[in-house]
Amino acid sequence: MVSTYGIFSGIETVNLVQANLSYVGTRINATPLKKHNFILAGVIVSLLLNLFANAILIFFIKFVLKIELFNEIKYSTIFIILGNLFGVAFGILVGVSNNQSSNVKTIIGIIITLFLSFLSGMMGPWMKAMIDKNIPILNRINPISIITNNLYRINLLENVKSVKEGIAILSIYCIVLILISYGFLRRRSYDSI
């Protein structure tokens, strides 16, 4: 769930590019430079900042709390990176898809992230078991569930059978979210700046 906190920086990235939401956005939109360059730069910076925050959390858990989380570093790192990228891409989509204030967009992002986390069993294993029993496809398409299930399988069960499927689904989610966001942003124009 922490890896999807990139949603906050994704929303802020979009707020900085839109002329109706910030003075920086007004200046960016008055230049001949392309918006997708700013969005790409925002995605990269947001991803790096979130990965840095995740690294601090992991070091705290490992060295202060003395809890070993990861046995398989390679695949775990891939899922953490994809989770952060998904969070940033989803934040950008939430940011460009509506004209609400930054606070309302943040609340929307929090609600959706908490709901997806709830469905993946992060607030109690009974929910994950109930969904796996009644609607198993839901946990196969829920991005937070994909991340947590694969991290459990890789590190606790030492099973890497479904890793490629999880990586592919998360990668597709990230690409689709960024493309949809760019479509929203590209169509947006302003009468006067």
pLDDT at 192 over 70: no
**Average pLDDT value over all residues in the chain:** 87
Tell me, what DSSP letter sits at residue 19?
T
- What is the CA 61 to chain-centroid distance, rounded? 22
* pLDDT above 70 coverage of the chain, percent: 93
Sequence-distant (≥ 6) Cβ neighbours of residue 34 within 8 angstroms: none
- Taking only the tens place, the pLDDT of each residue in 46-59 is 999 999 999 999 99
Maximum C-alpha span of the chain: 58
Q: pLDDT tens digits for 13-49?
A: 888 877 667 777 677 767 777 777 888 888 999 999 9
Distances (CA, A) of 82 to 74, 108, 110, 168: 13, 21, 19, 10
Whether pLDDT at 191 is above 70 = no
- Tell me what the mean pLDDT of segment 169-190 comes to: 84
Q: Is the pLDDT of residue 71 over 80?
A: yes
> Does 161 score more than 60 pLDDT?
yes
pTM for this predicted structure: 0.88
pLDDT digits (tens, 9 = 90+) for 73-113: 899 999 999 999 999 999 999 998 888 888 899 999 999 99
How do the residues of the chain divide into helix, strand and coil, expressed in percent and rounded to 5? Answer: 80, 0, 20
